[in-house]
C-alpha cells in the first residue's frame, strides 16, 4: 500500500511562520508624541496639585533651615565671646583680695612692672590709642552719666564710625579727671597754661585694639575724640568692689602719701588720678578688678 501523503511535506506545510508587520514611521512618531503628551499632562497635573498651603509649608521649612544655619554661626560667636568672661585671666597677686580678682580675656594695655612696694606697684606702660568722651556732671561715677558715656563710646566701637567698622572690645575702661591748671600740647611744643572749659569734668576712655595703630576709623559723633597716650610710668593700686567717688578720693590720698616715701619715684607735676575698671557690670563685687593710678617720674633722671 502507498501512503496517502509525504510525512515531511505534510509537517512542513502545517507549520506556517508568521510574517511580522513592518512598522511604519507614522506609528512610531505617534507613539512618541503620545508618550510626550502623557508626560506633559502628568507634569502639569503634578504642578497643579501644589496648593498654596503646601507652598507656604515649603517656604517655612526653607526659612527654618536658613535660620538654623545662621543661629549655629551666631551661637558659635556668642560661645567664643562668653568664654572670654567665663574663663578670665588673672594678674600676679600680692594679697588675697587680688587673688580673687578676675579679668576678662580681652586685649589690654601692655605694661612692664618695674618694682613692687607694700602698697602699690610701679609700671612702665606702652603707648596706646583711646577713644574718649567728656562725661556729663561733675562726678566720674554717677550711674546715669557713666552709662551715657559708655554707650556713646560703645556705639563708636561697634560701627558708628566713618568705616562702619565693628571693632573688638578691650579692657580696661579708663575714667580720669581733666587737668585743672594746664594742658599739654604735642610733645614737641612747650607746656601751655590755658583755661579749660570743662576742667572740672571727668572723661571716659576706651582702649582701642592695637591692630589699628594710628589708622583708626573716625567717629561720627563729634563728642568722641581719638587720642594717643604716650609711654608713661605710673604708680598703681588695685582694689575690688564697685567704684564710687569717695572710694577713689580716699585711695588717691593714701597713694599720694605712700609715694612721698618712695626713694626712686615722685608724682609727676600736673598729673591727676586715673581709674581703670576691667569687668562688665554683672561681675561679682569680690571678683572685680579696679585700679587707681598716678603718673610718676624718676627722681634722679
Domains of the chain: which residue ranges?
Answer: 95-126+231-301, 129-228
SS3 130: strand
Decide if pLDDT at 43 tops 80: no
Specify the pLDDT at position 50: 62
Task: Identify the residue with better confidence: 70 or 62.
Answer: 62
Percent of the chain past pLDDT 70, that is, above it, reads: 61
Decide if pLDDT at 108 tops 50: yes
Specify the pLDDT at position 145: 86
Report d(CA 144, CA 150) in Å as an integer: 10
Give yes or no for a contact between 263 and 75, defined as CB atoms under 8 angstroms apart: no
Q: E strands, the chain, where? A: 111-116, 121-125, 128-134, 173-177, 202-207, 225-229, 232-239, 265-267, 274-277, 290-298
Q: How confident is the model at residue 104 (pLDDT cuts 50, 70, 90)?
A: confident
Specify the pLDDT at position 73: 57
Report d(CA 220, CA 223) in Å as an integer: 9
Specify the pLDDT at position 274: 94
**Ranked by mean pLDDT, which of 39-48, 82-91, 130-139, 271-280 comes out on top?**
271-280
SS3 275: strand
| Grid cell for residue 144 | 546715669
Q: What is the mean pLDDT of residues 14-39?
A: 46
Q: Cis check for the bond before 172: say yes or no (omega within 30 of 0).
A: yes
Decide if pLDDT at 197 tops 70: no
Written out in words, the top-level CATH class of the domain with range 129-228 is: alpha beta
Specify the pLDDT at position 39: 52
186-191: list long-range contacts, CB under 8 Å, 24+ apart: 187/230
Exposure string over 59-74, b if 16+ CB within 10 A, otherwise e: eeeeeeeeeeeeeeee
How far from each other are the two terminal CA atoms of the chain, in whole angstroms?
A: 155
Question: For 140-186, what is each residue's pLDDT tens digit?
Answer: 888 888 899 999 999 999 999 999 999 999 999 999 987 654 433 33
Matching residue, cell 572749659:
197
Of the candidates 168, 159, 176, 170, the residue with the CA atom closest to the CA atom of residue 278: 170
Q: Which of 89-103, 170-184, 185-199 has the lowest mean pLDDT?
A: 185-199
Report d(CA 204, CA 243) in Å as an integer: 14
| Grid cell for residue 263 | 626713694
Q: How confident is the model at residue 99 (pLDDT cuts 50, 70, 90)?
A: confident
Burial classification of residue 81, based on how many CB atoms lie within 10 Å of its CB (0-12 exposed, 13-18 middle, 19 or more buried): middle
Decide if pLDDT at 256 tops 60: yes
Q: Calculate Rg over the CA atoms of the chain.
A: 41
Q: What is the mean pLDDT of the chain?
A: 76
Of the candidates 276, 196, 162, 197, the residue with the CA atom closest to the CA atom of residue 229: 276
Specify the pLDDT at position 103: 81
Specify the pLDDT at position 179: 60
Amino acid at each position: 500500500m502507498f501512503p496517502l501523503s509525504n510525512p515531511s511535506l505534510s509537517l512542513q506545510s502545517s507549520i506556517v511562520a508568521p510574517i511580522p508587520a513592518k512598522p511604519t514611521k507614522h506609528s512610531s512618531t505617534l507613539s512618541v508624541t503620545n508618550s510626550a503628551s502623557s508626560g506633559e499632562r502628568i507634569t502639569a497635573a503634578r504642578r497643579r496639585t501644589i496648593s498654596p498651603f503646601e507652598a507656604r509649608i515649603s517656604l517655612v521649612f526653607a526659612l527654618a533651615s536658613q535660620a538654623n544655619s545662621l543661629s549655629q554661626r551666631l551661637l558659635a560667636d556668642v560661645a567664643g565671646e562668653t568664654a572670654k568672661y567665663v574663663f578670665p585671666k588673672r594678674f600676679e597677686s600680692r594679697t588675697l583680695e587680688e587673688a580673687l580678682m578676675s579679668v576678662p580675656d580681652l586685649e589690654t594695655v601692655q605694661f612692664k612692672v618695674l618694682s613692687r612696694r607694700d602698697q602699690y606697684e610701679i609700671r612702665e606702660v606702652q603707648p596706646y590709642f583711646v577713644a574718649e568722651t567728656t562725661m556729663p556732671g561733675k562726678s566720674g561715677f554717677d550711674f546715669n552719666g557713666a552709662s551715657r558715656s559708655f554707650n556713646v563710646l560703645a556705639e563708636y566701637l561697634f560701627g558708628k564710625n566713618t568705616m562702619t567698622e565693628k571693632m573688638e572690645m578691650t579692657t580696661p575702661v579708663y575714667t580720669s579727671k581733666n587737668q585743672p591748671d594746664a594742658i599739654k600740647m604735642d610733645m614737641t611744643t612747650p607746656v601751655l597754661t590755658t583755661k579749660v572749659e570743662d576742667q572740672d569734668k571727668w572723661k571716659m576712655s576706651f582702649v582701642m585694639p592695637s591692630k589699628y595703630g594710628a589708622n583708626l576709623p573716625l567717629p561720627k559723633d563729634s563728642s568722641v575724640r581719638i587720642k594717643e597716650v604716650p609711654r608713661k610710668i605710673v604708680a598703681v593700686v588695685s582694689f575690688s568692689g564697685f567704684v564710687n567717688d569717695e572710694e577713689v578720693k580716699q585711695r588717691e590720698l593714701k597713694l599720694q602719701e605712700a609715694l612721698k616715701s618712695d626713694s626712686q619715684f615722685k608724682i609727676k607735676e600736673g598729673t591727676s588720678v586715673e581709674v581703670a575698671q576691667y569687668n562688665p557690670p554683672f561681675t561679682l563685687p569680690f571678683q572685680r578688678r579696679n585700679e587707681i593710678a598716678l603718673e610718676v617720674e624718676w627722681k634722679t633722671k
